[in-house]
Each structure stands twice: as structure tokens, then as C-alpha cells.
Copies of this chain bind each other. A is one copy, B any other.
Amino acid sequence: MTKKRIYLNAFDMNCAGHQSPGLWTHPDDKSSTYKDAEYWTHLAKVLEKGKFDAIFLADVLGTYDVYQGSRDAAVRQGAQVPVNDPAFVVPIMAQVTKHLGFGLTASTSYEHPYLFARRISTLDHLTKGRIGWNIVTSYLNSAARNLGLDQQINHDNRYDIADEYLDVVYKLWEASWEDDAVVVDKKKGIYADPEKVHDINHDGEFYKVPGAHLCEPSPQRTPVIFQAGASPKGTKFAAKHAELVFVGSTSMERTKNTVKAFREEAVKAGRKADEIKILTLITPIVGATQEEAEAKYLDYKKHASYEGSLALFGGWTGVDMDGVDPQEKIQYVKNDAIQSTLKSMSDFTVEEVAEFIGVGGMGPVVVGSPEQVADSLEEWIDVTGVDGFNIAYAVTPGTFEEFVEYVIPILQERGLVRKEYEDGTLRKNLFGSDYLPDHHHGRQFRKRLLPVASV
């Protein structure tokens, strides 16, 4: 392709009403069938047909219980509750696709890295190298309380723990089993060469992991690293570790600034300015004509839930908007986890916040004919400097089906979306190589821990 290609993820979650609270009431929406394998196999096939790079699966480990001081509104609206574990739909989707990648959200706060490393290696084996890991540190107090803590760990500490957590899993994935450790030599009776399987001897502030990884090397070893942290600590963390970064914002101008700042941070962290791909959240609403698309958007808005939106807002920000005049402008809310997005809403009234979140959650909506939507996406790329999009749904799988059916062919004709996948792993498809690049922090442990000859 002559132009810079657009990276595309689909954004979903193992629950009903992910980023569009209340839209589960729409007759076209099937998100309440999230419990069934059929929902996921169908969606995966649609996305692979559209040459999406990956499906990005969000997750939370608690309920949204800030609004009105209880989880009732969230439960009533199915606002990200009930919510199932996203990891198990990955092998199901992998069975009906060959190239689609899977960006799995998992928190560094509640699971031991030794077990987590095995889970990811297992998935990377079973999908033949199509796993990405969206690293989160968990922001809900309701999760912390049920997982044995009085409240969530302080935000900056969470990132310190996450940083060490990453070192542990890099060591297990990259520097425990040498590339040729497993030989399966039936004649000599050697399954693996014990000389080539190494203890990682990790002895840190938060974790002690002396032994070797339980798994043999998977196709990518380390999964593709996704991250969405937008706080100062989160940005530094992403600049050091991430290969794909997600941003969300209400305006192009703000997104442009975020992208610029992030690329500078990447360079400070020793990375190339453009090696980390930045995807922004967007919800496309496509009609045969502009009028049809706008009518569709209005119809969706009618199904959006005011209390569902404010339940999500409460969980994201820790701020309860109950009792606040809907016409009052929200103040700038201090919350490290997602403050940049909130900053972009500070001029909104409460009602406008609810309306904005109601369709497409924390990202903008683009509404129009297939050509208009394609034009809008191009404009977002040109103006903001993002590398692609995290496509959310208004109704699922309809939003994805229509985007694949009507918009993807136009983007392909314009040379912005490829017509065929590369063969191989997710990282190969994204960056041309199965493994982390040599200069990546995670790859350094090979030089430190493995015998010279094997690196």
C-alpha cells in the first residue's frame, strides 16, 4: 500500500452493552447473547472478513457502584454487569479464524504472574501466535474489596507493581526456555534439553519467582503488548512497554495533542516515535445515505440509558452525578486512570456527558454514508496522527457487520486497509516480526539471563 495503512481493532467485552449503555434494548442488538459461543464465532468471522487486525476485549473485575451509591443502576441497565471472563472466548474465536488477533485485557493487580504467564503462553500456543495482552492495573474499588483488599491499591503503586510484574513475565516468556530447548527426539529419548531450560531467579520487591517457566516457548513468546494508560505514570509505562496504545477523546484537537505527547514520551523511553501504534476509540454509524445514517443515530439515541451512562461515568471517575442538575457543567474531575478523557468532557453538562457516553462510550461517533464514514476516518488519521481505530459498537454485531460490508471495501480501494493478511502471528501481521524487537525492554532479559551463544 502506498499510503500508511489503518490499523483496526474491534472493541467488545464479555457482557451486554459494552460502550453503549441501554442499547441492548434495541431490537437489532444481540449483546445479551454474550454468554453463547455462537455470538463470538459469528463476530470473529465478520471481523476476519473485514481484515481487522484484532478484537480487543475489555474487562472489569468489579461492578459500577458509585452512581447513587450502589450498583443498582448498573445491574438494571446491564452496564458492564454481569460480566464474564474474556479469556475463554478467545480459543473459540480462534477455531473459526486464521489471522484475527486477540487483545485480551488482564490486570496485574490480582493474579500471580507465574500463573498468568502460563495462561498467556497456553493461549499463544493454541491460537498459533495470535495473542495480545491489554495491560490494566484495575481501577474499581468494588473489585479490590472482593479480592481481599480494603480498597484499590494507590494508583502510582499499582504501576510500580505492574512494572515488576512485567519483568517477571518477560523473564518467563523470553529468557527461561531457549529456542531449541524442546527437541522431541524420539530416538535418543530426549523430550527437552535440561541444559537449555533456565531458572529466572527473580527476587524483587513484590514478587519472588526463582524457577523456570512451566511452558515451552510459544509462537510469539511475549504476546503483543496493548496499553491504554493515559495518566503520567500510565503514559510512561506505555512508552516503555506497549506496542499498541489506545486513546479516547471527544475531539480531534485533543487527540492530536495526546498523540504528539505520547510520541515524545516514546522517544524519551528509547523507542522510535512511530513504532508504537496509536488507535483511537470511534463508533461508526453507517447508512446508505447521510439521512439514513442520521435517522439511525437518532433511533439509537432513543435507546441509550441516562442512568446506565452515569453508572459507567461513576465507575470510571469515582464521581456520583446523582442529584446534580443535568444542565450544570461538570467540573474537571481528578482521576488518574482516565483523566485525559474526562478533561475533554469538562465543558459538557451532566446531560451532555450522559448523551455522549450513551452511544459509543468514551469515544466519538461518526455518522454518514459509507464514503462519508471513510472520509471521516481518513480525516482523523490526517489531523490527529493516530495509526488506526478501536471500533466500538452501537448495536452488535450490526455495527461491525455494516462497517465490514460497506466501509471496509472503500478503505481497501483507497489502499488504507489491506486485502489479504500476512501469514503468521499477530505481531507478524502488525509489525512484520514474530518477536518483540531487539531494543524492547522485554527482550533485554535474554541477554542478561541466557547463555551468550543462544541469544
Contact = CB atoms under 8 A, between A and B. Distances in A.
Question: Can you tell how many copies of this chain the complex includes?
Answer: 2
Contacts of A95: 37, 41, 92, 95
Interface stretch (A140-148, A151-159, A290-298): A140-148
Contacts of A81: 192, 214
A211 B61 CA distance: 11
Given A14-B122, A37-B91, A122-B84, A192 B110 contact: no
Interface in A86-100: 87-92, 94-95
B209 A146 contact: yes
A83 B146 contact: no
Contacts of A115: 61, 110-111, 147
Interface string A99-138: 0000000000011101100110111011000000000000
A182 B82 contact: yes
Contacts of A35: 125-126, 216, 218
Contacts of A88: 87-88, 90-91, 119, 122-123, 126
Interface string A191-226: 111100100000000011111111110100000000
Interface stretch (A19-27, A248-256, A394-402, A409-417): A19-27
A16 interface: yes
A89 B95 CA distance: 11
A332 to B, nearest CB: 30
Interface string A1-26: 00000000000001011000010111
Interface in A28-53: 32, 35-37, 41
A118 B85 contact: yes
A147 B118 CA distance: 12
Contacts of A78: 184, 191-192
Interface stretch (A69-77, A369-377, A427-435): A69-77
Nearest to A96: B95
A323 interface: no
Interface string A146-183: 11100000000000000000000000000001000010
Contacts of A75: 191-194, 197
Given A125-B35, A208-B148, A215 B83 contact: yes
A455 interface: no
Interface string A296-317: 0000000001000000000000
Nearest to A217: B82
A17 B191 contact: yes
Contacts of A62: 211, 214
A22 B71 contact: no
Contacts of A439: none
Contact of A92 (B36, B84, B91): B91
B118 A84 contact: yes
Contacts of A63: 211-212, 214
Nearest to A29: B186
A148 B168 CA distance: 12
A150 B288 CA distance: 65
A190 interface: yes
Nearest to A24: B191
A122 B76 contact: no
A145 B210 contact: yes
A382 B276 CA distance: 66
B114 A147 contact: yes
Interface in A214-260: 214-216, 218
Max count, chain B CB within 10 A of own CB: residue among A70, A83, A114: A114
Given A82-B214, A214-B63, A94 B148 contact: no
